[in-house]
Structure 1
Amino acid sequence: MNEQKNITLLKEIAELLNEETEMIPMLNGALNKLLRGTNFKAGWIFFINDKGKSQLVAHEQLPEALQYNDCQHLNKGGCWCVSKFRNKQLKKASNIIECQRIESAIENQVGDHGGITHHATVPLQSGGERFGILNVAKPNTVSYTEEELELLESVAFQLGSAIKRIYLTKQEQQMALVEERNRLARDLHDSVNQLLFSVTLTSRAGIEMTEQQDLKDTFRDIQQLSQAALSEMRALIWQLRPKGLESGLIEAIKSYAEMLSLNLVVNVTGVLQLPTRVEETLFRVAQEALNNVRKHAGVNKVEMYITVTATDILFVVKDEGSGFVNDPDMKLPSIGMQSIKDRVHTLGGTADWVSEISKGTELLIRIPY
């Protein structure tokens, strides 16, 4: 009877995993089905990166003590399961002898722990790729049966394959986005960019061909406007297609600053071996920050500091230009600044500005790493 019930449960989970395209709803949905179809009463999932840093990404039906303060005790402290995963010693579904995170929640008396003192754990992986761990628990249970552990392994196998599928899908979407950006950048360069360049040359010729001062002034205005539009277009093409990023983040930022006629001084502390997503985000932030300097600061010298630590990336852009009134309670004064904040928040980071009239502006970015 239990065997048939488990087969039905695995089928339901497989159907959900095949339908979902977003990671967190998929994990929570699978956890929910697992708990409803078994005697397990609580479940949670950690993703663990290559550096061994764990992140609680999904949970279902946690008791009050474990939910306390946004799952404070599950997010902090050590645990046998995470340690064994980091050391590549967690190969299959296992009983946990003790869990420091659960013990900490119970000792601090932050709420009812629902009789949960121990949990079972299983690694989430697909082929040679390892993603994290799935933990489940039920009240007043110290050890879980072989049948329960076998079911966990089956569920973990399904989850591992689904996680890899979503990662691959996201990568394909990112590649498609880059290709579309490149196509649009080429189209802008081959059409609008060339037309603006032609207008610039034509207006310059008009200045030389006429003796009438009014016409000269008109052609000169057209030339200046078309040159400004051409500069904006080139900057837009750069933002669509970060040409030179393949040569490294620093070189790409320097090239962009040079295109804007800015004198950029870069100071780097630590080793720049950044994930692609972080690198592109920093490049986009640098572009926006340099654009703001060119348009609003009234100076052409910019200092940039990049510091990489074991846990964070600190990215600072500083100028001694005109500055602005920076009221943290007011809406950001430009779309570009809001764009910077949104990009950084997507990576779990923070963006802050320190500025004063006539004393320059300092942009401070911090991204967890």
Structure 2
Amino acid sequence: MSGDAKYEELTILKEIAELLNEGTDTTTILSGVLKKLLHVTGLQTGWIFLVNEHGMQQLVADVALPPALANNNKQRMCQGDCWCVSKYNNNTLKKATNIIECKRIEDALADAAGNTCGLTHHATVPLRAGEEQFGILNVASPNKTHFQKNELALLEAVAFQIGTALKRIKLTNREQEIALISERNRLARDLHDSVNQLLFSLSLTARAGVEMTTVDEVKQTFSYIQDLSQEALGEMRALIWQLKPQGLENGLVSALSSYAEMIGLSIQAKMSGAVSLHSKVEEALWRIGQEALANCKKHANTNDVALSLYAEENQVVMSIKDAGCGFRYEENSFILSLGLRNMKTRTEALNGRFQLTSRLGSGTEIQIVIPL
């Protein structure tokens, strides 16, 4: 490699490294890096798959896909298998490689799915940091059927930079989660040690006032204060539970059942499947379940509620149902309740599906489906 070529390669790697160090949003970073890589190398098309531990790929960045691959919201890129993903999942994709032909392009041609713009082949390289792998980088250009060794070496260097950045983001997110849990625990302790104890003392004082006075008006006032303090004490205990769930270590169903009993609900719970849930999924289901159970207590006019959790290899389904008063709800209507919007937002943040079914006099059911 000539000195000029070497200098150009180092410049490319420096510019990409700067992009990778600019933030922690994976999609934004990968899109920017892919555009930069294609611009400086003169290649035209590229895409990046992140692949989870179950071998499921997710298209997180792409540039200049031909219509045959971009049609129907890139459906052809978002589902189905291909040779590069198969090699990755079989653990045989170790370095930058020439893929002879692109299976997705072949399938698009066979289906007459649209213009492929002369794209037939691509190079592929795994995104990794040490022994940990995160996904695949693919690049291509029309009528380009082979990549030279120096091109593959550059792609490998860039892929390693991307893998290292993804590892950094993963560790940063984990540290933030740990810090958030620690802060919740601290706040729960503070609330328990201060406000909770003050409310308890207020309740005892009001009770003593009821017993000490003989004046009916004063007795009624103390009794009212006692009732309010007891209600506030119950709300505070529920808040502390939300901040620091006791029993989540025994499983999601156990924790939600305990929470339901604590707020005065009679719950029938069942669980099937034996898949270990990722902490983010478990946390989301826990928060959604709390909100749904609290809504049952406040609005359903019944204390009977049914909880079911079904986990399988590729998804988890949670349902919370009551036989209460229900309300008018249309699936496509705007959700006015902040609690319901929060549940929907939490679900969709994990690419899940939120479904609410309710009718006057026929109860309400909330079903959450989250892919694993």
1:205 corresponds to 2:205: no
1:261-272 counterparts in 2 under 5 A? Answer: 261-272=264-275
TM-superposition CA deviations, 1:254-293 (whole Å, max 9, x none): 2211211212111111114100000111111111111111
Which of 54, 64, 83 is residue 61 of structure 1 equivalent to?
64
TM-superposition CA deviations, 1:6-55 (whole Å, max 9, x none): 11111111111122222111111111111011131111000111111111
Contact 2:100 2:121 survives alignment (8 Å): yes
1:104-115 counterparts in 2 under 5 A? Answer: 104-115=107-118
Deviates more, 1:136-145 or 1:302-311: 302-311
Contact 1:197 1:230 survives alignment (8 Å): yes
1:195 corresponds to 2:216: no
Unpaired runs of 5+ in structure 2? none
Contact 1:35 1:41 survives alignment (8 Å): yes
1:134 corresponds to 2:137: yes
Once residues 262 and 126 of structure 2 are traced to their aligned partners in structure 1, the CA distance between those partners, rounded to angstroms, is: 49
TM-superposition CA deviations, 1:74-108 (whole Å, max 9, x none): 12222110001001000111011222212223333
Which of 76, 84, 93 is residue 81 of structure 1 equivalent to?
84
Once residues 298 and 150 of structure 1 are traced to their aligned partners in structure 2, the CA distance between those partners, rounded to angstroms, is: 67
TM-superposition CA deviations, 1:286-341 (whole Å, max 9, x none): 11111111111122221111111232211110111121111334432422111111
Which of 52, 62, 74 is residue 49 of structure 1 equivalent to?
52
1:40 corresponds to 2:43: yes
1:179 corresponds to 2:182: yes
Once residues 155 and 199 of structure 1 are traced to their aligned partners in structure 2, the CA distance between those partners, rounded to angstroms, is: 64
Q: State the secondary structure of the residue aligned to 2:125.
A: strand
Once residues 255 and 342 of structure 1 are traced to their aligned partners in structure 2, the CA distance between those partners, rounded to angstroms, is: 25
Match of 1:353 in 2: 356
Contact 2:253 2:309 survives alignment (8 Å): no
Contact 1:20 1:26 survives alignment (8 Å): yes
Match of 2:159 in 1: 156
Once residues 35 and 50 of structure 2 are traced to their aligned partners in structure 1, the CA distance between those partners, rounded to angstroms, is: 18
Match of 2:368 in 1: 365
Q: State the secondary structure of the residue aligned to 1:354.
A: strand
Which of 136, 144, 148 is residue 145 of structure 1 equivalent to?
148
Once residues 141 and 296 of structure 1 are traced to their aligned partners in structure 2, the CA distance between those partners, rounded to angstroms, is: 63
Residue-pair matches, total: 369
Runs of 4+ in 1 over 4 A off after TM superposition: none
Contact 2:46 2:64 survives alignment (8 Å): yes
* Counterpart AA for 1:117: T
1:242 corresponds to 2:233: no
Match of 1:323 in 2: 326
Unpaired runs of 5+ in structure 1? none
Contact 1:74 1:102 survives alignment (8 Å): no
Q: TM-score, normalised by structure 2?
A: 0.96
Match of 1:310 in 2: 313
Match of 2:262 in 1: 259
Contact 1:196 1:230 survives alignment (8 Å): yes
Contact 2:128 2:134 survives alignment (8 Å): yes
Q: State the secondary structure of the residue aligned to 1:45.
A: strand
Deviation at residue 187 of structure 1 after TM alignment: 1.3
Q: State the secondary structure of the residue aligned to 2:41.
A: coil
**Aligned-residue RMSD, C-alpha:** 1.4
Q: State the secondary structure of the residue aligned to 2:21.
A: helix
Once residues 194 and 109 of structure 1 are traced to their aligned partners in structure 2, the CA distance between those partners, rounded to angstroms, is: 71
Identity of aligned residues (%): 52
1:277 corresponds to 2:272: no
Once residues 192 and 280 of structure 1 are traced to their aligned partners in structure 2, the CA distance between those partners, rounded to angstroms, is: 26
